[in-house]
Structure 1
Amino acid sequence: MNESPDKPAGSLLGRIWSRLGPGLVTGAADDDPSGIATHSQIGAQFGFGLAWTFVLSFPLMVVIQEVAARIGSVSGRGIAHNLRRHYPPWLLRLVVTLLLVANIINLGADLGAMGAALQLLIGGPEHLYTLLFGVVCIVLEVWLSYPRYAAVLKWGTLSLFSYVAVVFVADVPWMAAVKSLLIPAIDLTGASAMAMVAILGTTISPYLFFWQAGQEVEEQHRHHAKPLCVAPKTAGPELARIRIDTITGMAFSSLVSLAIVFATAATLHAHGITDIATSAQAAEALRPIAGEFAFALFALGIIGTGLLAVPVLAGSAAYAVSEVFGWTESLDARPNDARAFYATIAVATLLGAALNFVGLDPVKALYWAAVVNGVLAAPLMAVMMLIVRNPRVMGRLTVSRSMAVWGWAATAVMAAASLGFFMLR
């Protein structure tokens, strides 16, 4: 007999793995092809100079993603649903509209990068590959049961280790790399400011907030559990699980991001290649410098992370839109029982794929999608902080004062980075 997916494995590693879920997948999806392209450009353009920003962003990622997870687990509803119930309608419409625009651009950039990566590996029609990847992601997300699909996403996170492997293939000067993490090199120029917003935009992204909150709600439905505000006695262990899961996922995301920056800094930047526009271009540029193995790992990683990130992007959009209109919103629902939810997934994915057929400039799409996410994240984070401090939403489980301070600090950093971009540009 097959072991139940809810039954803890016997080994220590198995028990740890069984406790990971929405946080791990969210962190891994953070390193999507758009993020890979952005981090490749950062490493190529600035070398190791901006590596310290990932140390800064890590605690900010953890706190804001934990806030998102708490909204879902405590209230039993997603972010957009809570906005609809407790805040003005115009705020809900603005947030969801901006999320849709950013997600569709990201979907187009990610699917295009996956098609380009496969063309690099085997040749053939790039646009056809882009469309096929979109269709595959739709089919998997719509037709697989939620437990099976969640397991697919969870195991898909292992594809990101390809970028850790690239670092060991590249000739990284580790003294310089470690120094760049510990000693900030601050450059008050427009290019540096835009790069910092892009880094924060790819690591602290609005679609990840909606996804993790929605996934916590899905997990409650899967286990037939009550929202924590209704059953506060179960809150202690569950909130501890959320914290461990989120810290692990964000640490994994930061490690992979740093691996990409280190690899491109040690290879491309060191050889005078400072302008990388797409993740596929970064893979191709690695070939003559780091060899065929590094090139293949990098290209395969783009496809693997894309297969992980595209469903997260489309799914977060579907959660938000469904919560606006009160539609059934669940990846565990049958297609006939949640037609509008699954239709939103399909339409968002296909619109993203279609952008690659209408002359979308992948150079601008990848980088500016990250910048747009960075600019939009601050007001959304402020709204989330209002939600988790609101007793009408969270009951007795509003976040502690210390966590609120960290959450508002993360919001202030995102707002300052966005403001700095416009002032120094």
Structure 2
Amino acid sequence: MSSLIDARDAETGRPWAWRRLLKSLGPGLITGAADDDPSGIATYSQAGAQFGYSLGWVMVFSYPLMAVTQSISARIGCVTGCGIARNLRRHHPRWLLRCVVLMLLVANIANLGADLGAMAAALQLLVPGPALLYGAGFALLCILLEVFLSYARYAAILRWLTLSLFAYAAVVLVVRVPWSEALLGAFVPHLAFDAEHAQALVAILGTTISPYLFFWQASQEVEEQLRRTAQPLYIAPARAGEELARVRIDTWVGMGYSNLISLFIIIATAATLHAGGITDIQNSAQAAEALRPIAGGLAFALFACGIIGTGLLAVPVLAGSAAYAVCEAFDWVEGLDHKPKDAKAFYGVIVLATALGLGVGFIGLDPIKALYWSAVLNGLLAAPLMATMLAIAGSRRIMGPVTLPRSMAIAGWLAVLVMAAASIAFLVL
């Protein structure tokens, strides 16, 4: 192991292991960072404000479940050379495909509305101006980048945007945190069987393990194969060991980064808002504004800038995952590496979903209700979709010799049970 770490690349002189790690980061890192979108920030902020540090353990507990689930979706893309929706079209009843895609579309559009509204509100806190104009500007910017940049250049921009999440690590550094209490909340589960905790638990899990992330990462792995002109692994199983090792590193690092930042948000809001008696946060911009008198202007500015940065990352992922799902469902040309004239339907769905999301955020609909129903749909969709993915990944007929290992299958089914149990508990309580 030490020789591997100490070995240096002949061109750069950097440790080879780090060079390999950085080269491995791509779809998994982007997917994980996109999970901490403005609506997710609102969910984690509310958890910290309402319950203090006591729900921090959910981020630690959900990390392996999230990483395994995303690894399965990435594996499906690598092995079959197709995204989730195209595999559903080929191997499952059409009614199941239609239900999944419709629920994903509704949830993504509601989420887009919440995210664009939060980005506009955050910018309004920093630079006073019209929220509608700011929201439209963000929507237009995301559309232009996604439609007119090549996949390689756009993926590079998304990778750089993942750095915006460090704003929340910085917030934790500038506020006073009782670390013994924070670490106790992170590593010792606190269970309370009441409606408020059940709702918070489902909201956190639904925000962390979201169906749109499954579609996005699987399709991004397909895009990566096309960019490198590589064959799907069921055709070239000799490459499976190296390729799946890259996917595993990328996904576990990306999901670890995502959940660590989510934990930082819970800790930051627990140390400031909850400690200051503010226990009801309606959106991420309100969380930023509430930080100003308690934690100071720097923490406020970092929190607000983080909302904008993560929104610029998440909005294209939400719109793009919807476009992949719709186009794969109808067997249309899809992919960010296609020019707009060659994939009109794909880019049309991106534009339409973003525009509808902007409308949801600015036509007077309650953004909190939109976000709530988005979370409900994600929660209802997640467990059955995860079970379907496990069936696909375990099928030798679909995956060839690169089927899912038993250990991953067991962990995947555990994640399904946790998501299903959380949703049932929420409905019952």
Q: TM-score range by the shorter chain?
A: over 0.9
Paired amino acid for 2:14: S
Residues 63-102 of structure 1 correspond to what in structure 2 (within 5 A)?
63-102=68-107
**Partner of residue 110 from structure 1, selected from 95, 111, 115:** 115
Partners of 2:76 and 2:136 in 1: CA distance: 35
Residues 18-417 of structure 1 correspond to what in structure 2 (within 5 A)?
18-417=23-422
- Report deviation, 1:105: 0.3
Q: Deviations over 1:217-242 (max 9, x none)?
A: 00000000000000000000000000
The answer to whether structure 1 residue 11 and structure 2 residue 14 are counterparts is yes
Q: Deviations over 1:21-80 (max 9, x none)?
A: 000000000000010000000000000111111111000001000000000000000000
Partners of 1:366 and 1:43 in 2: CA distance: 18
Q: Deviations over 1:343-393 (max 9, x none)?
A: 000000000001122212122233442343223211111111111011121
Partners of 1:288 and 1:33 in 2: CA distance: 21
Contact 1:194 1:371 in 2 (8 A): no
- Report deviation, 1:131: 1.0
Over the aligned positions, Cα root-mean-square deviation in angstroms equals 1.2
- Report deviation, 1:19: 1.5
Partners of 1:267 and 1:363 in 2: CA distance: 22
Partners of 1:141 and 1:288 in 2: CA distance: 38
**Secondary structure of the corresponding residue to residue 230 of structure 1:** coil
Residue in structure 1 matched with residue 7 of structure 2 by the alignment: none
Contact 2:117 2:362 in 1 (8 A): no
- Report deviation, 1:330: 0.9
Paired amino acid for 1:51: G
**Secondary structure of the corresponding residue to residue 208 of structure 1:** helix
Residue in structure 1 matched with residue 3 of structure 2 by the alignment: none
Partners of 2:372 and 2:179 in 1: CA distance: 27
Extract unaligned runs of 5+ from structure 1.
Answer: 1-7
Q: Deviations over 1:174-216 (max 9, x none)?
A: 0000011221110000010010000000110000000000000
Partners of 2:389 and 2:203 in 1: CA distance: 21
The TM-score normalised by the length of structure 1 is 0.97
- Report deviation, 1:313: 0.3
Count of paired positions: 418
Residue in structure 1 matched with residue 5 of structure 2 by the alignment: none
Contact 1:41 1:274 in 2 (8 A): yes
Paired amino acid for 2:328: E
Contact 2:62 2:205 in 1 (8 A): yes
Residue in structure 2 matched with residue 5 of structure 1 by the alignment: none
Distance 1:366 1:172, change over 3 A: farther
Partners of 2:83 and 2:13 in 1: CA distance: 33
* Deviant stretches of 4+, over 6 Å: none
The TM-score normalised by the length of structure 2 is 0.96
Partners of 2:114 and 2:29 in 1: CA distance: 23
Contact 2:41 2:265 in 1 (8 A): yes
Partners of 1:312 and 1:33 in 2: CA distance: 13
Extract unaligned runs of 5+ from structure 2.
Answer: 1-10
**Secondary structure of the corresponding residue to residue 275 of structure 2:** helix
- Report deviation, 1:10: 5.4
- Report deviation, 1:170: 1.2
Distance 1:102 1:146, change over 3 A: same
